[in-house]
Amino acid sequence: MKNASKHIGLILLISLLGVLYIANAHKAERKLRMINKLQMGVDDAKSSYQKVKSDNTYKSTESQLAKKLKNEGLKINSQSPIVINPDS
């Protein structure tokens, strides 16, 4: 009995550390799951980005633009470019 009261401080400290250890482990695990979830979100966002970008690249090719703008009265210039030479 005398011994127990002598070590009560140490016992309390150890139990406190134990509680902290468990809490920390849970927290870490939660973080890991969060990372995993976010990573999936990043992957999804990345693939949507690539999809949009790839659609956009195709739509911005000269021929596709020409097709789209046909009804607006715009077309690919059929004349060859004129060279402006400032020296002559």
Partner 1 sequence: MDRKTELLLRVYVVFFLFVLAAVIIIGQVIKISVVEGEKWRNQGGKNIKWVELAGERGNIYDCRGNLLSTTIPHFDVFVDLMTPTDKLFDNHIDLLSRDLSQHFGQTSTEWKNKLVRKRDQGKRNANSGAQFFPLFKGISKDKLDLLLTFPIFNQGRYKGGLRYERINSREKPYKELCSRTIGLDRENASKVGLERTYDMLLKGDVEKKLVRRFPGDVWLPLYEPEQINRKIGAEIVTTLDMRIQDIAHQELLHTLTEGKAAGGTAIVMDVKTGAVRSIVNLGQNKNGTYSENWNYGIASASEPGSTFKLMSALVMLEDGKVDLDTEFNLNGGRKKFYDRVMRDSEMHGIGIATFQEIFERSSNVGMGLAAYKNYGKKSDWVKFYEGLEKLGITHKTGIEIFGEPKPFIKNPKLIDSERDRWSGLTVPWMAHGYELKMTPLQILNVYNTIANDGVMMKPYLTQEIMKDGKSVSRIKPQILNKQMVSPSTVLKARKLLKGVAERGTARKLKIDNVSFAGKTGTTVINYWKGNETKEYNASFAGYFPEGNPEYSVIVVVYNPKGEYYGAQVAGKVFSKIVERLSGMSNKLVSEDSSEDIAIGSHTGYNQDYDQILDYIGMDYEKRTSSKWIKINDNQDALVMEKKKISKKKVPDLKGMGLRDATYVIESLGMVAEVEGIGQVYKQSVNPGSVIKDQKIRIYLN
Task: Using CB under 8 A, list all residues that contact partner 1.
Answer: 29, 32-33, 35-36, 39, 43-44, 47-48, 50-51, 53-55, 57-58, 61-63, 76-77, 79-83, 85-87
Please, what is the minimum distance in Å from the beta carbon of residue 1 to partner 1?
28
The answer to whether the CB of 65 falls within 8 A of the CB of 75 is no
- Comparing CB distances to partner 1, the nearer of 10 and 83 is 83
- Comparing CB distances to partner 1, the nearer of 62 and 72 is 62
